Amino acid sequence: MSKQNTFIIILFFLASINCFAVYNYPRANDWTIYLARSLSKDIFELNGVPYLLPVVEVVNTTANSRFYSSAYITKEKDFYVKLSVNGNYGIVPQSKKEYSPSLPLEPYDPTDLNSLLAKISPYTTIDISSNPPKMVVKDTSGLIYMAFKMLMYDGITKNKFKIPAKSPTLLGEGKQSLKFHRDTIRSLLNENPIFGLLPETLRDTIFKSIENFPEDFDLPQGVNISRIVAGMPQIEIGSLFGTELALRFIPPINLGENIGKFSFWGLALRHTISQYIPNSFVEMAVQVAYQGTNLKNKVGVTNAELNANANFFTSNIHLSKKLGRNFELFSGLSYESIHINTDFTYYLPIVVQYQLGLIWLDDNGTPDKFDDDFFRKNPELGYNGDPFGAMNKNVILSDKNLKFTFGGILNLGKFSIYGDYNIGKINILTFGLLYKFDF
């Protein structure tokens, strides 16, 4: 083999190695990281919350079912215990699978100088006695982020930035991204009227902060969940003057990595009103119930944490009618109110950390695939490379729901088998097996 051919082969081999080498970004300066954190925080609060809350609502609403079947309760003092095992199957509606994403924008009027100065006044002090007026910056990071939100407003109104019309919730499918091209940011900066008012040193700082600014901010990915299944035991104790007590409890159980650990407890009182109606054609009863739940999960590559506590109050009126010896139909109308208190703990998105040079890729890594642990861990910071730690968000949500239920019971001596369908904001199919102990 000639020396020339050997040299060509070596060059080809080195070029091949270079082609497959993983590119890792240099570490961004602190101003860039501050800016990325501020933007990530607002993007999460605008988009991460509607991404995660639907799974909290669907899981809790699914668990708040299967409180009653037959409306019959003896009006005599009759001590008995009913033990039942119940299953709830919640059907995820399309409305809980997607949301309309948004960006944190700061609208402004470029022709209104007083309004522009008012927007930056929390971050600056302006001495109008000097000629020209002198500006002193009190909060550099806050002012940089204010300018950036105005840039995003410019980018949207000038059609240089685009927001996806729809993005999946955790229950949905697929993924969307927000794009911020640096060249577009630079051009918008030069066109922005606020930018020209800033001191030259601050303008330089802002330009440097976007040199390594991430161009891709991924919105959270959906995992395509179409149903929620929950199982629960229940004890019913009766009867005193036509009143029955129901209790339910389950310790934390794992509903899968996409849903997390779920626990709940509940109690209900049910009272027959048929005893007050002579020769009633159907059995009728009313019920009030209260239920508390907790849902915990870790989401995504950065293990963002979700901790949701919910309280349900339910009241219903239901009736039943025997058809033959062993079969019974029942139906009811329920009013439900829910109060959810949710804490989110989250970090810079993993792709943003990568673009900021806070974490690195292994030789086989690709930022488009997260099923393997391809990011090198920072020995000092652990898996997350964000040097400023976690961010937090608390969300409180209240909602109301009307639910119509119909179903049937097959009575086989001490055993009963039943099932029903619930129509409301979330449609739920329930079924169960019951055994009655008479004392």
Q: What is the pLDDT of residue 23?
A: 67
Q: Is residue 56 one of the residues assigned to a domain?
A: no
Shared domain check, 238 and 136? no
Shared domain check, 352 and 262? yes
Q: Is residue 112 one of the residues assigned to a domain?
A: yes
d(CA 202, CA 338): 49
Per the listing, tokens 């025997």 go with 322
Shared domain check, 355 and 236? yes
Q: What is the pLDDT of residue 427?
A: 94
Q: Is residue 26 one of the residues assigned to a domain?
A: no
Shared domain check, 368 and 240? yes
Q: What is the pLDDT of residue 33?
A: 87
Q: What is the pLDDT of residue 363?
A: 54
Q: Is residue 261 one of the residues assigned to a domain?
A: yes
Shared domain check, 257 and 185? no
Expressed as residue numbers, the domain containing 144 is: 104-162+181-214
d(CA 217, CA 355): 10
Q: Is residue 65 one of the residues assigned to a domain?
A: no
Torsion sign across C-alpha atoms 256, 260, 261, 266 = negative
Shared domain check, 388 and 288? yes
Shared domain check, 242 and 114? no
Structural domain count, the chain? 2
Shared domain check, 377 and 275? yes
Tokens of 333: 């109308």
Tokens of 187: 């051009």
Q: Is residue 66 one of the residues assigned to a domain?
A: no
Q: What is the pLDDT of residue 1?
A: 53
Q: Is residue 170 one of the residues assigned to a domain?
A: no
CB 381 within 8 A of CB 298: no
Tokens of 86: 């119940």
d(CA 363, CA 252): 40
Shared domain check, 246 and 187? no
Residues of the chain under the 50 pLDDT cut: 6-20, 370-374, 378-379, 381
Shared domain check, 429 and 330? yes
CB 237 within 8 A of CB 244: yes
Q: What is the pLDDT of residue 269?
A: 96
What is this structure's pTM?
Answer: 0.76
Q: What is the pLDDT of residue 389?
A: 82
